[in-house]
Amino acid sequence: MRPSGPEAIRAANRWKKYRITPQQDDALCESQHYRCKICGIHENDIRSILTGRPRLDGEPTAEPVRLVVDHCHDSQRVRGLLCNSCNAMIGQARDRPEVLRAGADYLEAPRGSGPRLTIL
């Protein structure tokens, strides 16, 4: 029998992908004070994801967004919980710290060495 309802589906997915129970997931979230382990945004402050068509009664169709499980692709061990943006950043860097460090160096470099852009 397949799980039904959002919480049952979430629990089944977390177990299948990461071998963690809802209780372990909740304990991890609590240990991080419900904040992304990288940027520190609180789970309640993450913008909700709009889903489906607008409702006829005018109520928002947004669902609450939770922090996502981040894991090491080599060891398959859970590292922590991240917001979607930070998780995507790690993924885009292909889990390579040197890429992220180079990105930070790039952002911290003196500005003004390139041509001045005129925004129309």
- What would the pLDDT profile of 90-101 be if each residue is shown by its tens digit? 999 999 999 999
Burial class (CB in 10 A: 0-12, 13-18, 19+), 95: middle
The CATH architecture one would assign to domain 6-97 is 3-Layer(aba) Sandwich (3.40)
β-strand 78-82 against 49-50: which pairing, if any? unpaired
Average pLDDT over residues 50-72: 76
Please tell me the predicted confidence (pLDDT) of residue 97.
95
| Residue of 109, 1, 11, 7 lying closest to 64 (CA atoms) | 7
Q: What percent of the chain has pLDDT over 70?
A: 85
Q: Say which residue the tokens 């922590």 belong to.
A: 80
